[in-house]
Amino acid sequence: MPVYTDKVLDHFMNPRNVGSIPDADGIGKVGNPTCGDMMDFYIKVKDNRLDDVKFKTFGCGAAIAVSSMVSEMAMGKTLEEAKAITREQVAQELGGLPDNKMHCSNLGAEALHAAIEDYEQKQAAAQQGGLACQCPFCNEFFKDVPEVCTSCGAKLRFCDECGQPIPHGQEACPTCAEKAQA
């Protein structure tokens, strides 16, 4: 049985920044099919800094503790500083992890980096002619607003206020929070 530090146990029992960001600027999803750990990171960027970081993790106590620690380490950092966070730094901040749990610290850093990469790709695409909308189900971007997502096949309806897609069954627009028309 692995021996965890008090800091690992604290972040597992009292994780920080749990949840999602409905209008996230970037989303990173990673997983390890061998151990079953799955991590989703959500970021909001303001003035090239991580203004908000949230996560949802399905996995062992070490995976949850790592996600919590990564979210704390990344909050307020510039994108470049956050991209420089390594698995070794995460493990060190937690006071160490057992060797068989080090892959968790790698997943945490990877999920954060994937969210930043997603944000940067969206920014680059927007600068190359703009994008009209994003599917709320699979996060695919489109230049034109389709009735059906060409990537996942979901039927889309659109906010009268901002024109962004609204998932069926959801009353408020995830982009501008206006109440959806039936």
CATH number at residue 19: 3.90.1010.10
Residue 99 sits in the same domain as residue 28: yes
Q: Domain of residue 166: give its range.
A: 131-182
Residue 149 sits in the same domain as residue 88: no
- Give pLDDT, residue 157: 73
Q: How far apart are CA 49 and CA 46, in angstroms?
A: 5
Rounded to the nearest 5 degrees, what angle is found at the Cα of 41, between the Cα atoms of 40 and 46? Answer: 155
Choose one of 87, 103, 127: the last residue of a domain: 127
Residue 29 sits in the same domain as residue 90: yes
**What is the share, in percent, of the chain residues with pLDDT greater than 90?**
45
Residue 100 sits in the same domain as residue 50: yes
Within a domain: 173:
yes
Angle at which helix 61-74 crosses helix 6-13, to 10 degrees, equals 90
Choose one of 127, 142, 173: the last residue of a domain: 127
Within a domain: 84:
yes
Residue 82 sits in the same domain as residue 112: yes
**Count: domains in the chain:** 2
Q: How many residues does the chain have?
A: 182
Within a domain: 1:
no
Q: What is the pLDDT of residues 111-162, one digit of tens each?
A: 999 999 989 988 877 666 655 566 767 767 666 667 777 777 777 777 776 6
Q: How far apart are CA 14 and CA 136, in angstroms?
A: 30
Which position has the token pair 């996995």?
Answer: 59
Within a domain: 60:
yes
Q: What is the pTM of this model?
A: 0.71
Residue 28 sits in the same domain as residue 97: yes
Chain centroid to CA 173: 19
Within a domain: 65:
yes
Supply the residues annotated as catalytic.
Answer: 35, 104
Within a domain: 79:
yes
HEC profile of the chain: CCCCCHHHHHHHHCCCCECCCCCCCEEEEEEECCCCEEEEEEEEEECCEEEEEEEEEECCHHHHHHHHHHHHHHCCCEHHHHHCCCHHHHHHHCCCCCHHHHHHHHHHHHHHHHHHHHHHHHHHHHHCCCCCEECCCCCCEECCCCCECCCCCCECEECCCCCCEECCCCCECCCCCCECCC
Residue 107 sits in the same domain as residue 160: no
Residue 180, pLDDT above cutoff 60: no
Residue 104 sits in the same domain as residue 15: yes
